[in-house]
Amino acid sequence: MKKNTRLIEDTMNTSYHLYQEMQKERPDSELSRQALSVAKDIHEIKKEYLLILRGLSEALDLNLDDEGMHLKDIFTVLENSLNTAPTPGGRTLCLDLSLEEDLYTEDHYFLMSIFRNLITNAMEAAEHEIVHVRITQRLDDSHWLFTVTDDGPGILKEDLEDIFQPGFSTKINYDTGEINRGLGLNLVQDIIKNQWNGQISVSSHPGETVFSIQIPKSQLKGAR
């Protein structure tokens, strides 16, 4: 299984390099967009595979419906899995939820991917051992509204406009020299915009970064 993890990583890197080369020769071509899509798909497969490899025994105790999940169950799975996975500096996630209602939806896999990427980014950027992330959810007349707030070092003002661009990343592994491919936030934006016609925005200053998400009520599959 560990060998397969390396294979998935290598395949993702190959696909992303292919996208970069295509962009040089034919910017914004359909083939380059497809290569980027493949790289992002592999990026997600890699993360899901690692979660399986590290074990989600706590999640197996949940009474999950095959067709959907409640928000509280989604965040239980995420918190358990992220706290059992090795993180830089041995960081621990402290998740604070404020849910107006325990939303149930059949689009739980998309929500899982979105929140896992946002929380993982917060944990990787954190400067302290305990990483505090607060997630709120409420409903207005027409939208599900979510915020994801962390207490990390913040995002530089000059980087805020670029963080959703594919390939943009400020993260580097100084032990290996490997740069994070910067596909996670672009994938999050793609899901929110293309799957649900929603919106995501970010504000940040030292000590606080807030991602705000709006999803039209009518777009979230099976929501109740």
What pLDDT does residue 200 have? 95
What pTM was computed for the model? Answer: 0.70
Render pLDDT for 34-45 as a digit per residue (tens, 0 to 9): 777 777 776 666
What pLDDT does residue 96 have? 96
What pLDDT does residue 51 have? 60
Structure token digits, residue 84: 């059992």
What pLDDT does residue 80 have? 83
Render pLDDT for 171-204 as a digit per residue (tens, 0 to 9): 544 344 444 445 678 888 988 998 899 999 999 9
What pLDDT does residue 27 have? 67
Strand 143-150 to 130-139 pairing: antiparallel
For the chain, which ranges sit under pLDDT 70? 1-13, 27-28, 42-66, 86-89, 167-183, 222, 224
